[in-house]
Each structure stands twice: as structure tokens, then as C-alpha cells.
Amino acid sequence: AGQNSVAIANPSSPLAAGLSGTVQVSTASDIFAQGSPTGSADVAARLPGTSTASDFGYDTGAAMAGLAAPALRVGLFFTDNTPASFTTQGWALFDAAVTWARNAGGGGGPSPSPSPSASPSPSPSPSPSPSPSGSGSPGTALLVVGGNPAALSGADSAARSRLISLGYTVTIVGDNASVAGDATGKQLIVISSTVSSANVNTKFRTAAVPLVTWEQAIWDDLGMTAAAAEAWCLEQMAIPI
């Protein structure tokens, strides 16, 4: 059996998309990621029954593991295939991460999360908040993927289409060919879990560009979790907010 839900840990977080309780984020069971960020992170969501983080963010300058965040950073729970089977709530959490990146520096960052309750009770979730449309284009997003960037997987194609729908021009680069300089002139870096972590590693660790990633194996390389507390995966379909 896999997972398809998350539990919202901090409903007031801008990363929570106005959701609360335990929400189904995928129509198919999948393997979701979790890790242990520093106390400076806003933990928006966890896997049900856990005390780690599966949707979390750092504002610019926040204390991460070994460095201050050069720009905002967001770690997301999903893995290689999840975006292809997102529910409305799943996309709402994706949009919230990207929207926060778009508005970085304009409305302040997330506040640290409250301590989790021992066992969050599943509850009906309200409708997700619509993503602000904003005015004008938010700029160019760098999408780093594994495999052939000219033949995207269904999930990476869905993520690219979503970024375009949010107003971004999307530049795609393969993980092996990617270099730190690819961040130059970009307004957002998005790293898919289809990448090989060894091919990306610390390339974007110090990039002063907002970064969103669902590749849990580079959270520690980016300083989003400590090396001694690497992210790990559980099979789950929903996460509590």
C-alpha cells in the first residue's frame, strides 16, 4: 500500500494553501518524502502520524543546516510520478510553493511552525485557496529534470505545464548538464525528483534565487536538512496540514 495524503501542520502558513486537516493530494498511491529541517523552517505539512516535515520552507536569510538561506527554499513531499496524479489539493500545495517564491520579499516569509500534536485527527479539508494571479509575468523558471529534457516524463511535463499556467517562462535542463550558472537570470529554480542527486548535488546550494524541490536526496546538499538527518521516504497517499 502507498500514500496519497498529507496532514497540514500549520494552516496559517502561506505554503498550506488555505488547507487544514488531512488532505488527499494524489489519486494514486505513491512514496512520499520526509525530512528534518532546522527550527527556522516553516513546516506546512507532515506525513500523517509523523513529526518530521514533508512540505516546508525557509525565508531568505533563515538559518538552515550549515548556511543562511541565500533565497527562499521549499522542500516538497512528492516523488517522480506524483504530479501526474495530483488532486486539486495537491496542485494547490504546489501552487502555494511557487506563489510564495513569486512573491518572495513582498509579503514576508512563513513563520516557524508550532509543535505538532501527538496524533493529528483527519478532518474534512476546506477548499484550497486560489493562487493569486498577480500582474505581469513572474519571469523565468529553471526546471531541472532527469533523463532527456526533450522527452519529459508525464509528471515532469505536468509540472512544466503548471509553471507555465502560473505565468512562468520555463527553461528545462538535464541534471547532468546543469551547472550553477544556469541560475543566472532566472527568477525560480525548480528541481524534480527525477534527477539523480549525484548529478545535482550542491550546484545550486548558494544560488540567490528562490528554489523549490521535491528531490529529497538533495535536501541535505542544499542545507535544507542536516547531513546527519537525511530525508527518508514512507509509502503514503495523504499528508496532514
| Higher pLDDT pick, 230 / 66 | 66
β-strands 232-236, 55-58 pairing: unpaired
Query: What is the grid cell recorded at 19?
Result: 488547507
pTM recorded for the entire structure: 0.84
Q: Within a 10 A sphere around the Cβ of 172, how many other Cβ atoms?
A: 16
Query: Quick one: average pLDDT of 93-116?
Result: 65
Quote the pLDDT of residue 241: 60
Query: What is the grid cell recorded at 104?
Result: 518572495
Quote the pLDDT of residue 120: 43
pLDDT class for 21, splitting at 50, 70, 90?
very high
Instruction: Please check the confidence at residue 230 and state whether its pLDDT lies above 90.
Output: no
Query: For all residues of the chain together, what is the average pLDDT?
Result: 85
Quote the pLDDT of residue 55: 97
Phi, psi of 184 (to 5 degrees): -60, 130
Measured distance CA(222)–CA(64) in Å, rounded: 9
